[in-house]
Amino acid sequence: MNFLAGYAPFLDYRYWMNPSPVPLGPSLVGSMAVFFAWFLIAAAILYLVARSMDRHDALKADICRRAGRLLFVTGLLAFLELFFVYEQVPVLSMRLWFLILFILFVEWLVRLIVFAVHDYPKIKRQEEEKARFEKYLPKSR
């Protein structure tokens, strides 16, 4: 169990709840900014893909839009937290906020995957059934 010795600070509540944590180095802040910038870029790309897919398949466009919203909100909140960490604002620069952001991201991602795997096929089947049924109904003038 000696390999876990390096992770001991992660298990200590003082590591996460310290109102004035040790400032992050400029290279780490820059790396994190680039990482979260990719979230925003991917969100913009997913939004554009969703707009182009809207006419063909509205449900797939909805999944792309939801994924884009997830990445946009996560990226925006991460940049806000990076600003607080860089400026060393007490309480708002706590590491706990990054942990909460990570938990929010994972929970939102799980909901998106559940929608895409479980709910999407049901909704797609219902829409196809409705279209097949309405095919035989008279059109309104």
Concatenate the DSSP letters of all residues of 13-61 into one string. Answer: HHHHH-SSPPPPPHHHHHHHHHHHHHHHHHHHHHHHHHHHHTTT-HHHH
Q: What angle do CA 52, 57, 60 make, to 5 degrees?
A: 85
* 109 within 8 A of 66, measured Cβ to Cβ: no
What local confidence, expressed as pLDDT, does residue 94 receive? 87
What is the pLDDT tens value at each position of the chain, 141 positions in all?
566 677 777 777 887 888 888 888 888 888 999 999 999 999 999 999 999 998 888 889 999 999 999 999 999 999 999 999 888 888 888 889 999 999 999 999 999 999 999 998 998 898 889 888 888 778 777
